[in-house]
């Protein structure tokens, strides 16, 4: 198969590219950074250097492909001029336009847990919007991948652990958090790309469910802080902390609302109705080793 992978060589796209190449597929990786060209080629894939903001570039790159994996790359949450919703909306429209023009018939798109909600989900509303836009493509079979909370988001608490000795958040503690590894997401995406599908499908991906306290215990043991606790704090305190760190206030508010929705159950309600029967292979104890290495090096 001729497969297009977006996301350059990020957390998901690199292992996905490796898996697809190893299985004999012709893979083209889109990256906005010319310096990534050699790295992409070293994996046995073809680089396509250009911008996801350029619908004509996407159309040209997608033409002749059997399948496309699309995603909205992370942006700079500390850019106070960033309109995150507009950015995601724009890229979703570009993907839809390029897919329609190029005649691609198979799409796997990276969405998120909580994308079923049309309100009160913070930054996840952008994924709901993208699913709506892409879902209107009439002749393309689409799988919307809805991963849960990424393990690597826990790196954001490293400085807090060092300075305050706790993980303080407006979700978690005794509530279950569905965590996921990008390795497990990549494996699920590869399965979807190579599987047969007509119409539209939603697939959740999760590696392990743990409470905040259990998560803190595993990370604490790995970094030599066995008494590490996960502490529940008010939304306003989290908002204050994010803004004090320099985050765009609108995005900070979106993150706070997203985590509050997770804490109160709305964000994960559809996940619980459609939970995978088999969880991923990478567990928190595996991630904790990487976390500990980064924690000690930082």
The tens digit of pLDDT for each residue in 80-124 reads: 999 999 999 999 999 999 999 999 999 999 999 999 999 999 999
Instruction: Look at residue 285 in the predicted model and tell me its pLDDT.
Output: 98
Residues 6+ apart with CB under 8 A from 118: 125, 128
**Is residue 233 predicted with pLDDT exceeding 80?**
yes
Distance CA 143, CA 103 (A): 17
Question: What is the mean predicted confidence (pLDDT) over 202-219?
Answer: 98
Crossing angle for the helix pair 55-62 and 84-102, nearest 10 degrees?
40
**What's the Cα-to-Cα distance from 246 to each of 77, 80, 242, rounded to whole Å?**
9, 9, 7
The pLDDT tens digits of the residues spanning 40-75 come to 999 999 999 999 999 999 999 999 999 999 999 999
Spatial separation of the C-alpha atoms in residues 228 and 221, rounded to whole Å: 8
Q: Which residues contact 17 (CB under 8 A, 6 or more apart)?
A: 5, 9, 27, 29, 40, 43, 45
**Boundaries of domain holding 124:** 2-149+180-206
One domain for residues 195 and 288: no
58 and 189 share a domain?
yes
Q: Are 193 and 106 in contact (CB under 8 A)?
A: yes
The Cα–Cα gap between 226 and 6 comes to: 40
Measured on CA atoms in the order 67, 274, 281, 256, is the torsion positive or negative? Answer: positive
Mean pLDDT (whole number) for 7-36: 98
Q: What is the mean pLDDT of residues 263-275?
A: 97
Asked whether residue 286 is assigned to any structural domain, the reply reads yes
**194 falls within a domain:** yes
Q: What is the mean pLDDT of residues 190-206?
A: 95
Q: Are residues 222 and 189 in the same domain?
A: no
CATH of the domain at 86: 3.40.50.720
Does the pLDDT at position 298 exceed 80?
no
- Percent of the chain topping pLDDT 90: 98
**Count of H helices and E strands in the chain?**
12, 12
**113 shares its domain with 243:** no
Look at strands 26-31 and 46-49 and give their pairing. Answer: parallel
Residue 12: pLDDT band (50, 70, 90) is very high
Query: Is pTM, for the whole model, over 0.85?
Result: yes
Q: Mind listing the pLDDT tens digit for each residue in 144-197? A: 999 999 999 999 999 999 999 999 999 999 999 999 999 999 999 999 999 998
End-to-end Cα distance, the chain: 42
Q: 145 in helix, strand or coil?
A: strand
Are residues 177 and 171 in contact, defined by beta-carbon separation less than 8 angstroms?
Answer: yes
In a shared domain, residues 94 and 185: yes
């Amino acid at each position: 198969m001729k497969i297009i992978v977006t996301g350059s060589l990020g957390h998901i796209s690199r292992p996905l590219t490796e898996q697809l190449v190893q299985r004999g597929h012709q893979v083209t990786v889109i990256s906005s950074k010319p310096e990534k060209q050699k790295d992409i080629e070293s994996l046995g894939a073809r680089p396509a250097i250009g911008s996801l903001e350029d619908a004509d570039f996407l159309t040209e790159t997608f033409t002749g492909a059997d399948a496309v994996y699309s995603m909205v790359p992370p942006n700079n949450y500390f850019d106070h001029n960033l309109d995150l919703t507009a950015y995601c909306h724009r890229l979703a429209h570009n993907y839809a336009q390029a897919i329609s023009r190029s005649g691609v018939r198979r799409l796997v798109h990276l969405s998120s847990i909580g994308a079923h909600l049309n309100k009160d989900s913070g930054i996840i509303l952008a994924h709901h919007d993208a699913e709506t836009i892409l879902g209107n493509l009439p002749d393309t079979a689409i799988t919307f991948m809805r991963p849960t909370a990424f393990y690597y988001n826990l790196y954001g608490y490293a400085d807090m652990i060092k300075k305050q000795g706790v993980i303080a958040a407006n979700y978690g503690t005794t509530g279950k958090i569905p965590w996921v590894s990008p390795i497990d997401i990549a494996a699920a995406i590869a399965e979807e790309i190579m599987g047969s599908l007509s119409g539209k499908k939603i697939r959740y991906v999760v590696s392990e469910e743990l409470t905040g306290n259990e998560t803190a215990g595993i990370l604490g043991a790995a970094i030599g802080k066995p008494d590490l606790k996960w502490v529940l704090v008010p939304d306003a305190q989290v908002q204050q902390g994010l803004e004090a760190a320099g985050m765009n206030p609108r995005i900070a508010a979106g993150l706070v609302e997203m985590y509050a929705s997770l804490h109160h159950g709305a964000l994960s309600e559809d996940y619980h109705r459609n939970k995978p029967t088999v969880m991923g292979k990478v567990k928190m104890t595996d991630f904790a080793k990487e976390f500990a290495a980064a924690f000690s090096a930082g």
